Amino acid sequence: MIQTEDLTKRFTKSKKEAPITAVDGLTLNVAEGEVFGFLGPNGAGKTTTVRMLTSLIAPSAGRAFVDKLQVGKDDQKIRERVGILTETPGMYERLSAERNLNIFARLYGVKDVPGQVEKYLRMLSLWDRRFDEVGSFSKGMRQKLAIARALLHEPRIVFLDEPTSGLDPEAAKLVRDFIDELKTEGRTIFICTHNLDEADRLCDRIGIFKTRLITVDSPENLREKLFGRKVVFHLQAMLPGLAERVRGLPAVKDAQVVDNRLLVSLEDPEAQNPGIVRALVEAGAGVQFVGELRHSLEDIYLEMIRQEETH
Partner 1 sequence: MSERIRTIIGKEWAEVFKNKMVLFTVLFMPLLFTALPLIMLGTMSGAVGADAGDMTDMPAQFARACVGLSSGECMQIYLLNEFMLLFMMMPLIIPITIAAYSVVGEKATRSLEPLLATPITTEELLAGKGLAAVIPGVLATLLCFGLFVALLPLVGVGERIFAYITGPTWLLAVLVAGPLMAVAAVNFALIVSSRVNDPRVAEQLSTIIIVPLLAVLFGSLAGIIVLNVTNMLIGILIMVVADVALVYLGARLFQREVILTRWK
Q: Which one of 92, 140, 226, 260 is in contact with partner 1 (CB under 8 A)?
A: 92
Nearer CB in complex with partner 1: 47/272: 47
Asked if 131 touches partner 1 (CB under 8 A), the answer is no
As measured in angstroms, the least distance from the Cβ of 71 to partner 1 is 12
Asked if 20 touches partner 1 (CB under 8 A), the answer is no
C-alpha 213/C-alpha 304 separation (Å) is 11
The residue among 308, 295, 270, 307 whose CA lies nearest residue 200 is 295
Scanning residues 137 to 176, which ones bind partner 1 (CB under 8 A)? 146, 149-150
As measured in angstroms, the least distance from the Cβ of 64 to partner 1 is 15
Nearer CB in complex with partner 1: 80/118: 80
Q: Which one of 30, 91, 160, 213 is in contact with partner 1 (CB under 8 A)?
A: 91
- Which residues, 6 or more positions from 278, have their beta carbon under 8 angstroms from its beta carbon? none
Nearer CB in complex with partner 1: 188/272: 188
Task: Give me the 42-71 binding string for partner 1, x by CB under 8 A, dash otherwise.
Answer: ------x--x--x-xxx-------------
What is the DSSP code string of 21-85? EEEEEEEEEE-TT-EEEEE--TTSSHHHHHHHHTTSS--SEEEEEETTEETTTSHHHHHHHEEEE
C-alpha 179/C-alpha 161 separation (Å) is 12
The residue among 89, 87, 3 whose CA lies nearest residue 45 is 87
As measured in angstroms, the least distance from the Cβ of 92 to partner 1 is 6
Name the residues that contact partner 1, by CB under 8 A. Answer: 11, 48, 51, 54, 56-58, 76-77, 79-80, 82, 84, 86, 88-95, 99, 103-104, 106-109, 146, 149-150
